[in-house]
A and B are shown apart, each in its own frame.
Chain A
């Protein structure tokens, strides 16, 4: 199985900060990488697919302050200006091969 490793496991940031989360795959997954956001007690919410394409469905379109990048084994999720509603746990997911696997999550907390 492909192992997905996120860093950091948690971070503290202030509203308006730029935040970057890293996800590393144990082997080349090209750009078969998705990102999800999960708030406490809620189901995950789909954010980004194919490493850098924002989910644009109505009514859950993802704000443009979110962006993703990377290919191969190294990927990043960036929030350009952190908003109060962005405090959550973020997960990466590879869909290059079965079984699909998730990173362990990065918790973004209020500083």
Chain B
């Protein structure tokens, strides 16, 4: 079945980096984009950025520019999100989500139709 499986929980110290992986299966990896979304404990959803699995193009949310890098390995259908210079307020569950584009009368709509199970990243000294 179509699924995204993420790497396990991480504990990092402030100033360190973390790299989370997201392995896709059940669909053609390069036919879709992937977004990364995070959720701080007890909080809502925050979009971090998007990348094309087809050509590697990226679009990062302004608040993460300079600290985040999203990459893919098409040979293993795996996407990666690296966040650097971690702070305590980066403690969150990080999700990858497949982006599909649905065409309807009047426009095309982005949808996050498949999500990974989430990776808890804890930043603590």
Contacts and interface: CB of A to CB of B under 8 A. Distances in A.
Contacts of B107: 30-32, 50
Contacts of B112: 34, 36, 44, 46, 93
The bracket for how many chain A residues form the interface is 20 to 34
Interface of A: 30-32, 34, 36, 42-46, 49-50, 53, 55, 57, 59, 91, 93, 95, 98-105
A46 B111 contact: yes
Given A43-B116, A44-B115, A98-B59, A49 B47 contact: no
Interface residues of B, number: 25
Contacts of A31: 106-107
Could you tell me the dominant secondary structure of chain A's interface residues?
Answer: loop
B58 to A, nearest CB: 12
Interface string B16-53: 00000000000000000001000000001111000000
Given A30-B107, A31-B106, A49-B109, A100 B116 contact: no
Nearest to A51: B109
Given A32-B109, A49-B109, A53-B104, A43 B45 contact: no
B102 A101 contact: no
A100 to B, nearest CB: 5
Contacts of A102: 44-47
14 contacts: A30-B107, A31-B107, A46-B115, A50-B107, A50-B109, A55-B111, A91-B45, A93-B45, A93-B112, A95-B109, A99-B47, A100-B47, A101-B47, A105-B45
